[in-house]
């Protein structure tokens, strides 16, 4: 089931021209990812209780159209690459009112053992969770 996150652009997220400051899209990626994982039964607090951390290793964004104060951002996201120790989540940010694609991006997350801080193989250590992530992975 595809799920999309919605965010209403707040005044404080804009610059003097009431255009969304570019850094906020990265925050929205985080909001959408946290929400999506929770909706998919993999809430961050649950993963941390299991001993799994998922730090961001890199994040990218490509800005195509401006969004402004009061717009509603609809964020589509999907796992686009999954390995036992990393995953890439890609994002497509649309203006709900105009249906224009405004921003695309992705974040690379690693899987770490909370106790040691070292990479953990999700496939080996958490096979059910790895399989669940795989079910949310975009097929080529």
Active site residues: 15
CB 139 within 8 A of CB 80: no
Q: What share of the chain is helix, strand, coil (3-state, %, to 5)?
A: 30, 40, 35
Question: In the block, which residue shows the tokens 């059910």?
Answer: 128
State how far the Cα of 91 lies from the Cα of 31, in Å rounded to an integer: 11
Question: In the block, which residue shows the tokens 């925050």?
Answer: 27
Query: CA 136, 109, 44 angle in degrees (round to 5)?
Result: 70
């Amino acid at each position: 089931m595809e799920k999309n996150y919605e965010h209403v652009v707040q005044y404080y997220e804009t610059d003097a021209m009431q255009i969304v400051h570019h850094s906020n899209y990265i925050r929205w990626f985080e909001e959408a990812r946290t929400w999506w994982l929770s909706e998919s039964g993999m809430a961050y607090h649950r993963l941390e209780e299991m001993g799994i951390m998922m730090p961001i290793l890199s994040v990218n964004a490509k800005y195509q159209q401006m969004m402004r104060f009061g717009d509603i951002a609809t964020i589509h996201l999907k796992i686009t690459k999954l390995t036992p120790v990393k995953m890439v989540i890609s994002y497509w940010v649309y203006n709900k009112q105009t249906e224009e694609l405004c921003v695309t991006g992705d974040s690379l997350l690693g899987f770490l053992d909370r106790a040691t801080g070292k990479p953990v193989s999700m496939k080996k250590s958490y096979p059910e969770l790895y399989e669940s992530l795989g079910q949310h992975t975009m097929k080529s």
